[in-house]
């Protein structure tokens, strides 16, 4: 259905947490999946955050570089995914919320030039051939440089910002550069500061697509693997994430309709079928 890229900027953390909240709250129809790929060249955070280092480095982006050289990228991609579905959903529809963990050392990014391109093609193929949704988490600088191809090939690129003066000033140059590179850019605002969405939109000159609450206690569950508070799935953060997910789906659908195409431009690219 959609390939959506999330990125951030200096002084505005929250990209990974927002991406995880969207992954876990994304509305899924039967047989549909949501895949979150950590593609931050500075290193991923989920393996040692939410997952608390329990899986070591057996899964992840770095393992795809060898597969890319051997021409086995599609098959290897599905083997690197971790199932983050809740226990309840696993009983009904197993493996429907999947994570591709990022690299664990920024030095590993140097060997991934062919992986970024392979991922861009794979994501478009997953969208076109399977109807699954893909979230691409690019960190603070992954939307530029070699990994920038992932932003260029996405249906929608969103910059996560906080509505504080410091964060908005830091975001201006990044948003401008990204708009020039990919065209259609939107904002997800984490509501920590005093500036309303309309003011953020006026300052940065791109639309605010959605707003998420500033909720440190709930966010630590996703960013650091903290114990879930009671009724976590009904918290303001997760409720807002479900609303945001619906808005993103609507925005992608409207964009594709406006462009006159409901199918991925790379439909027909061969990818390995999901298991």
7: closest CA among 244, 181, 185, 165?
A: 185
Domain 3-259, CATH homologous superfamily name and number: P-loop containing nucleotide triphosphate hydrolases (3.40.50.300)
What value does the mean pLDDT take over residues 50-78?
A: 86
233: closest CA among 17, 21, 18?
A: 21
pLDDT tens per residue across span 100-130: 999 989 998 988 988 999 999 999 888 778 8
Whether the CB-CB separation of 4 and 252 falls below 8 Å is answered with: yes
Going edge to edge, which strands form the sheet with 208-213?
82-83, 97-100, 34-38, 133-137, 3-7, 156-162, 185-191, 208-213
Directed axis angle between helix 197-204 and helix 165-182, to 10°?
50
DSSP string covering 87-133, please? HHHHHHSSS-EEEE---SSGGGGGG-HHHHHHHHHHHHHHHHHH--E
List the chain domain ranges. Answer: 3-259
pLDDT of 253 reads 87
pLDDT tens per residue across span 199-257: 999 999 999 999 999 999 999 999 999 999 889 999 999 999 999 999 999 999 888 88
The owner of tokens 């984490």 is 190
DSSP string covering 57-87, please? TSSSGGGHHHHHHHT-HHHHHHHT-EE---H
The DSSP output letter for 33 is -
The owner of tokens 């050392």 is 105
pLDDT tens per residue across span 131-148: 789 999 999 988 989 999
pLDDT of 94 reads 59
Whether the CB-CB separation of 132 and 77 falls below 8 Å is answered with: no
Structure tokens at 160: 């996560």
In order of 204, 211, 224, 225, 239, the CA distances from 218 in angstroms are 28, 16, 10, 10, 12
How far is the C-alpha of 9 from the C-alpha of 7, rounded, in Å?
Answer: 7
pLDDT of 209 reads 96
């Amino acid at each position: 259905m959609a390939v959506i890229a999330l990125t951030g900027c200096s002084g505005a953390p929250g990209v990974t947490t927002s991406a995880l909240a969207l992954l876990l709250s994304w509305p899924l129809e039967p047989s549909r999946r949501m895949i979150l790929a950590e593609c931050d060249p500075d290193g991923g955070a989920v393996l040692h955050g939410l997952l608390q280092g329990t899986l070591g480095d057996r899964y992840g982006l770095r393992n795809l570089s060898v597969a890319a050289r051997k021409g086995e990228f599609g098959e290897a991609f599905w083997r690197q995914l971790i199932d983050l579905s809740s226990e309840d959903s696993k009983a009904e529809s197993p493996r429907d919320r999947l994570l591709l963990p990022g690299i664990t050392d920024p030095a590993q990014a140097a060997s991934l030039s062919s992986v970024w391109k392979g991922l861009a093609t794979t994501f478009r193929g997953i969208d076109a051939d399977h109807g699954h949704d893909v979230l691409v988490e690019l960190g603070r600088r992954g939307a530029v440089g070699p990994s920038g191809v992932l932003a260029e090939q996405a249906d929608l690129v969103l910059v996560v910002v906080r509505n504080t003066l410091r964060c908005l000033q830091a975001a201006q140059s990044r948003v401008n550069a990204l708009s020039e590179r990919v065209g259609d850019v939107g904002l997800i605002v984490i509501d920590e500061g005093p500036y309303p969405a309309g003011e953020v939109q006026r300052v940065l000159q791109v639309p605010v697509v959605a707003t998420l609450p500033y909720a440190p206690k709930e966010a630590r569950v996703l960013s650091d693997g903290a114990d879930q508070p009671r009724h976590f799935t009904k918290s303001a953060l997760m409720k807002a994430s479900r609303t945001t997910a619906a808005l993103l789906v609507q925005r992608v659908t409207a964009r594709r309709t406006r462009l006159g195409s409901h199918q991925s431009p790379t439909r027909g690219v061969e990818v390995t079928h999901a298991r």
